[in-house]
Amino acid sequence: MASFIVLIACPEKEDSKDYPAELTSITVTQNPIKTVYYVNETFDPAGLVVRAFYSDDSSSEITGYSLSTPDMSSTGTKTITVTFEGKTASFDIEVFDVFGALLDSIEITQNPSKTIYYVNETFDPAGLVVKAVYSDGSLSEITGYSLSTPDMSSAGTKTVTVTFEGKIASFFITVQSVNGDTGDLGVIIY
């Protein structure tokens, strides 16, 4: 009986260096020099450094990426997306108003001159003082806010809401029936 040994030629493993490494991710390694802006300033990416990471564990600094356009017309934290060959990374900038700080909240510092009404009287906000509270602790009296319309057709305590640039504060007025009943007690004893 004869034995045969069969030798099969195997192609040599191809050198992985013959194929370019695949891009696996990108990251922002250095934010732009300027990351704080005022409303309506132009964003400047100068100083931004982006690095690409590849499947062969190599990395390199890259250019030729694209950046999303931040909305510079309003205050707040703006996220800018960096895109390169289908991969994304992001960084944030801050846009402040003319006071150099972000609007944190609004507050009623003085109620309207008139806070007690009779049913069906017209609400009058005269005397109302609203202030903006900024992230640096500063306060500034504001106008241009909007007010909710209280229901003046029934007696009771009514909430009036003040809204300014997405921030809300409120105050109360009292609407009484003609005999002075606020509608809360049900019975008035004389």
Cα–Cα distance measured from residue 150 to residue 174, given in angstroms and rounded to the nearest whole number: 10
Question: What is the token pair recorded at 116?
Answer: 């007690």
Distance between CA 186 and CA 118 in Å, rounded? 16
The predicted pLDDT at position 98 comes to: 65
Beta pairing class for 146-147 and 167-176: unpaired
Its CATH class, for the domain covering 22-96, is mainly beta
Structure confidence at residue 121 (pLDDT): 95
Model pLDDT for residues 135-187, shown as the tens digit of each residue: 877 788 888 899 999 999 999 999 999 999 899 999 999 999 986 554 444 44
**Amino acid identity at 150:** P
pLDDT in tens, 125-147: 999 999 988 887 778 888 889 99
pTM of the predicted structure, to 2 decimals: 0.45
- Greater confidence (13 vs 100) lies with 100
Q: What is the DSSP letter of 184?
A: S
Q: Assign residue 64 a region (left: φ > 0; alpha: ψ between -120 and 50; beta: otherwise).
A: left
List, in sequence order, the alpha helices (H) in the chain: none
pLDDT on residue 188:
42
Going from N- to C-terminal start, the domains of the chain cover: 22-96, 103-176
The mean predicted confidence, pLDDT, of the chain is 85
Q: In what order do the strands lie in the sheet with 59-62?
A: 23-30, 49-54, 59-62
Confidence check: pLDDT of 27 > 80: yes
pLDDT at residue 144 in the model: 84
Same fold, 22-96 and 103-176: yes
CATH of 103-176, one of 2.40.30.10, 2.60.40.3630, 3.40.50.720, 3.40.50.2300: 2.60.40.3630
Name beta bridge partners: 140: 132
Measured distance CA(22)–CA(88) in Å, rounded: 15
Position 69 scores a pLDDT of 94
pLDDT of residue 186: 44
pLDDT surpassing 50 at residue 36: yes
